[in-house]
Amino acid sequence: MLLYEIEKNPTLAFDYLERQVNDGSKSGFTDIHNTSIQTNPFYSDGYHIMKLVSKRRNIECFGTPNCDNNLFGDDESIFIHPDWLLPQNIGIISEVGTVEKGLWVIPTSSSRTVRVDGSDVYIKLHYPGVIGRLNRILGFQQLISGIEISSIFEEARHNNELPACFDYMPESYGRLFRDGQNEIGYIIRELPKTIKDCYLVPGFSLFSYDRNVLDAPQLLTQILERSNSPREFFFEEICFKLIDVFFGCALEEGLIPEMHSQNVVFAFNKKWEIEKIVLRDFESIDKDISIRRRLGKHTNFEEYPYKCISSDGQNYLKRHSFMYDHKLGEYLLDPLVECAASFLHIDTQDIRKNLRN
């Protein structure tokens, strides 16, 4: 994809980047375990999610949506992924309720997260199976943790406690179906108003190739070509800001973000300068209890110890290394470095040394 195509229609371009300017996870599992062809973001540009209407009135609502309540219907229904209707899954669903056609949605890179057509609302769904390497459940723990973390980010933004370049997609509302030990949930997230007029680019799209136009130059190269000082832009505006966001969240709020290339969205202004680095998907954020106590912040998380770590834990340092060195370092900074190095005529090892310093 070329930059002028993004400028022409930013909303459609963002959808396209999610699905098609996407090399998949470097783990290699993206193409091994994914959703059905009809809902796979690499093959589908839209479909209806389904709505499960409970027979037993056992659906709970959490949080308060910032968007139009009419999107969600009455409180006795919950959105589910269409793959619940596959033969291996339909028996579970048919026992607990009836299924109706729901909203028309656009798939995103995460496969089970979709954008409601005509809106800035995203719905993350429980998936009945494996995507990538893991089972993608969305139960009470995942749902309530996202809402709690959104609340922390909201307060931090109000108090100007995080870097000015930081923003996030709030997870303000969700629903949960419970039937014995079974939980099926969804959570919504929304684009922040601060980036309404920006060009949005998922982290992976900066260095991935367009699946339909293989000879198109990578977006990062195109953006660097537009900069008057490409080397300074790459270090100061991209790499250092990513590191600032990571350590801002960690040291000011005790939240250790999972900043791999799918969870980070770059918001560019009309001059292709970075306005915001936007964090999305809070399910895997670690809550560092030791740092939060030291900062005098609350540690009364509803599902403690879910995703909570502390300095007396056996894997404390490993968890920090996993999030910084592996997720941010190997899954986002490293491919950005590889992409920029040849254009900037800098050895990749020199760039890495600079970033470590």
Task: Provide mean pLDDT across the span 28-38.
Answer: 77
Residues 6+ apart with CB under 8 A from 288: 250, 254, 255, 256, 308, 309, 310
Q: Which amino acid is at 316?
A: Y
Q: What are phi and psi of 287, to 5 degrees?
A: -105, 110
Sign of CA dihedral 254, 260, 264, 270: positive
Rounded CA separation 49/81 (Å) = 6
Whole-number pLDDT of residue 31 = 65
Residues 6+ apart with CB under 8 A from 232: none
Distances (CA, A) of 206 to 33, 91, 247, 348, 356: 24, 42, 22, 17, 22
Task: Provide mean pLDDT across the span 87-96.
Answer: 78
Instruction: Please state whether beta strands 166-168 and 274-279 pair in parallel, antiparallel, or not at all (unpaired).
Output: parallel
Q: pLDDT tens digit string along 230-284?
A: 999 999 999 999 999 999 999 999 999 999 999 999 999 999 999 999 999 999 9
Q: Would you place residue 131 in the very low, low, confident or very high pLDDT band (cuts 50, 70, 90)?
A: confident
- 233: closest CA among 275, 273, 205, 276? 273
Rounded CA separation 165/249 (Å) = 12
Instruction: Please state whether beta strands 286-288 and 264-268 pair in parallel, antiparallel, or not at all (unpaired).
Output: unpaired
Whole-number pLDDT of residue 135 = 78
Rounded CA separation 123/114 (Å) = 5
Q: Would you place residue 28 in the very low, low, confident or very high pLDDT band (cuts 50, 70, 90)?
A: low
Identify whether the C-beta of residue 40 lies closer than 8 Å to the C-beta of residue 34.
yes
Residues 6+ apart with CB under 8 A from 95: none
Whole-number pLDDT of residue 167 = 97
Q: Specify the DSSP class assigned to residue 312.
A: T
Q: Mind giving me the DSSP string for 313-324?
A: STTHHHHHHIII
Rounded CA separation 160/163 (Å) = 8
Rounded CA separation 343/221 (Å) = 7
Rounded CA separation 41/202 (Å) = 14
Residue 94 DSSP SS3:
helix
* pTM listed for this prediction: 0.94
Q: pLDDT tens digit string along 34-84?
A: 899 999 999 999 999 999 998 777 899 999 888 777 788 777 899 999 999
Task: Provide mean pLDDT across the span 183-207.
Answer: 95
Whole-number pLDDT of residue 285 = 97
Rounded CA separation 224/243 (Å) = 19
Rounded CA separation 212/22 (Å) = 11
